[in-house]
Structure 1
Amino acid sequence: MTETPEILSTTTRPARPVRQLLAASVGNAVEWYDWYAYTFLATYIADQVFPKSADNSLVPLLSTFAVFAVGFFMRPVGGLLMGAVADRRGRRTALTVTILLMGGSSLLVGLTPTYAAAGVLAPVVLVLARLLQGLSVGGEFAASTTFLVESAGPGRRGLFSSFQYVSTSIGQLTASGVAALLVSTLTEGQMDGWGWRVPFLAGALLSLVGFWIRQGAQETRETRGPRPGLFDALRHHPRQSLLICGITAGGTLAYYTWTSYLPTYAELNTGIDKSDALLAGTLSLAFFALLQPVGGLLSDRFGRKPLLLFFGLGFALLSVPLLHGLTGSFVSLLLTQCAGMVLLTGFTSISAAVNAEVFPARVRAAGIGFPYSLTVALFGGTAPYMGTLFKELGHSGIFPWYVAALCVVSSVVYLRLPESAHRELER
């Protein structure tokens, strides 16, 4: 009788950690540049692909579906599928697939025909591109999280983890800067005609650069014997999967509230000028990126739990006074955003390390990818919608309490979480 071969799963610490850090960070920045470029240019895309004058009732329906649902709700699928690729075929393979997916989807957005030229085919092409973008971004977090943390040297997992959000912020800032530059230098007619396509075509080229850099990275995990199944992490580690949801819920809501929605929240509730709101958002995001390595280093020295509790309890106590204290001035918004960024760093700078330390190497990427991306879709992706909904119902003051309440839930999880900073990473 033939015995089933023993599963031999090992993660190896690469000899060139800085190259590993660069490979993960550059690729991640490109991924998020492409993702956010769509957000910043959505108005121009909608005018060309989903014209208000269209008689076909499918068009506004597809528009809503594409903009609000497809991207975020494909991310859990991407986290599961690309996480499985990372666990079965290696982290570098998954990172290669995700950046090629994002480059292809960015190219597809850039080449999407207008509704006037192609009719209903135009929104269908855009929906397909957004599907691929969501798949790619969900998979990117799963693969790059494990890759970054497994590449770190002794006592440096928190520091390496922090570059997940450093690179995300760089991608977001770059997309914002490119969009602002185009809008300020091109006429309205040029932006409508071809200008909105430029960032996506550039993103496709940048993806090739990221692909080239990642080709030189060293694999952090090699597996011989039976490979894990698609749902092995959920089946064999249900507690850890729920733990990822609890760790992430408050953090993702606070992150999307403070980094994406707060300028809009301030406009709706204080009447602040839109240009001032966008400038405050940009400056605070740059400040946020600089804070991340500091948080990572502190967690390597003092542990993960103190930073997580600093974030969770800080937002639980201060979300309401910070958001209720907003006035219509630029300084008020900037200080509120920066204060939130300091608190938020307690979560973002180490979330990759905390998540990776929860699962064994064999199912680490898929184990992180699905529950994390699902939680982001449920709570992070819906943050702007919930804030706007409360405003429309005449109860805008409830939204800060909603943020605080979810951060209380996550804080309870952090209190019960065993300290993992100074343990050897399970390999």
Structure 2
Amino acid sequence: MTGAVRTRAIMAGALGNLVEWYDFYVYAFTALYFSASFFPAGDRTAQLLATSAIYAVGFLMRPLGGWYFGWLADAHGRRRAMTQSITMMAMGSLAIAFLPTHAAIGAGAPVLLLAARLLQGFSTGGEYGAVATYLSEVTTPGRRGLLASVQYVTLIGGQFAALLVILLLQSLLTEAEMRQFGWRLAFGGGAIAAMGVLLLRAQMHETVGERHPEAGRIGALLAHWRGLLVVVGLTAGGSLSFYVFSTYMQKYLVNTAGLEPRAVNWIMTAVLVPFMMLQPLFGALSDRIGRRRNMIAFGVLATLTTVPLLRLLGSVQSPVAAFALVLVGLTINSLYTSVSGLFKAELFPVHVRALGVGLAYGVANALFGGSAEAVALFLKQRGHEGAFAWYATAICAAALLTALLMRDTRDRDPLADVR
């Protein structure tokens, strides 16, 4: 593969990843505005809990998406899987943009919201595994950590873009207008952008050659059960930590610390800039010290700092202090996110690689990452908000144990089986 082809391949995978994750994150960041439109009864915490429950249910589709798109990518090519996944995400976002509210159709409104989220969850489950596999395969030995880190650069970029759009809308619209129709504009814009990315992905270089007779089969994947367990164990801690300090943190700073929503949006937007910049730095670090040491460092630091960070953030009053504390949490998480897709892809052979990454990631992400917000809000509603920090710490400790038991891939090239 020439340098120009490799650059275009990385751009096609990366930009599609950015748009897909924008569509996914805009739900989390606009929930403060549309939750009352679909769940009018109860206080703010109850409304956010109901909206977050649908957010979490969307994650339950990720294992199915990981299985389907993993099979599709291994059996029929990465390009086909990645074009289908972004099409589905666009459909889900467009549907949410035009959904009727509870005032218009009653109980049918949250049902339709749930259906759209299930479609988005299915799509995202496929996008992660296919993009992680594809970017790992088009990079070069010795620089894989650096180049593959673009997956989380664009994943965070999608989050960053979602926040920027919300801040723009907030500057143009009143609070009442944001609750009435502003959030719809954010979903509609993402759907339109996704359609544009399809043109790029239609021209992507394909990394899968002649089809393997067992490509995408669950039976063939089960022979690599150790790799599956490693992915589940590390994803549990890594994704839980990621969602705590990114999407849930917006609600935590408003609902627990009592900061003003607009100030929190600025905090969370600003903190994503250094978070993005850290990805290639820690990715390059993994090229020197190995993915395993990155994971061990993440496990140790996350286990030791999650409780004190959340306690401090729960009572923080200064936006500057909140920014600094969130950045500490995300910096620690960068040890995981920078090589999240790469270390998983390195655990499986080419004929079950996308399936192994997507399915195992989908299961762990659904159980621990996607449920983080709902668990935290449920414990808060029951008067035990502090218990969530200890729950997150226990999951991070399990990830540390997994990292200590995983093998180091530096002694060979695990991705030498692609063209």
**TM value normalised by structure 2:** 0.89
> Take 1:269 and 1:66, find their aligned partners in 2: how far apart are those partners?
18
Residue 384 of structure 1 aligns to which amino acid in structure 2?
Answer: E
2:38 maps to 1:34:
no
Alignment of 1:11-410 (within 5 A): 16-52=5-41, 67-118=54-105, 121-188=108-175, 190-224=177-211, 226-326=213-313, 327-410=316-399
Q: Give the aligned partner of residue 8 of structure 1.
A: none
> Take 1:309 and 1:200, find their aligned partners in 2: how far apart are those partners?
38
Deviates more, 1:264-273 or 1:325-334: 264-273
> Take 1:323 and 1:115, find their aligned partners in 2: how far apart are those partners?
34
User: 1:60-105 CA deviation, whole Å, 9 max, x = no partner?
Assistant: 9xx6697244311111111111111001100111001001111122
> Take 1:41 and 1:64, find their aligned partners in 2: how far apart are those partners?
10
Shift, 1:125, TM fit: 3.4
2:217–2:352 contact (8 Å) kept in structure 1: no
Counterparts in 2 of 1:140 and 1:148: CA distance versus 1, 3 Å:
same
Size of the alignment, in residue pairs?
409
Counterparts in 2 of 1:191 and 1:281: CA distance versus 1, 3 Å:
closer
Residue 238 of structure 2 aligns to which amino acid in structure 1?
Answer: G
> Take 1:340 and 1:411, find their aligned partners in 2: how far apart are those partners?
16
> Take 1:317 and 1:283, find their aligned partners in 2: how far apart are those partners?
25
Q: Give the aligned partner of residue 403 of structure 2.
A: 414
> Take 1:273 and 1:241, find their aligned partners in 2: how far apart are those partners?
42
> Take 1:385 and 1:46, find their aligned partners in 2: how far apart are those partners?
14
Residue 388 of structure 1 aligns to which amino acid in structure 2?
Answer: L
Shift, 1:176, TM fit: 1.4
Counterparts in 2 of 1:366 and 1:77: CA distance versus 1, 3 Å:
same
The percentage of aligned residue pairs carrying the same residue is 40
Q: Which runs of 5+ in 1 are unaligned?
A: 1-11, 54-59
Deviates more, 1:68-77 or 1:372-381: 68-77
Query: SS at the partner of 2:213?
Result: coil
Query: SS at the partner of 2:100?
Result: coil
Deviates more, 1:34-43 or 1:155-164: 34-43
2:70–2:126 contact (8 Å) kept in structure 1: yes
1:233–1:366 contact (8 Å) kept in structure 2: no
Q: Which runs of 5+ in 2 are unaligned?
A: none
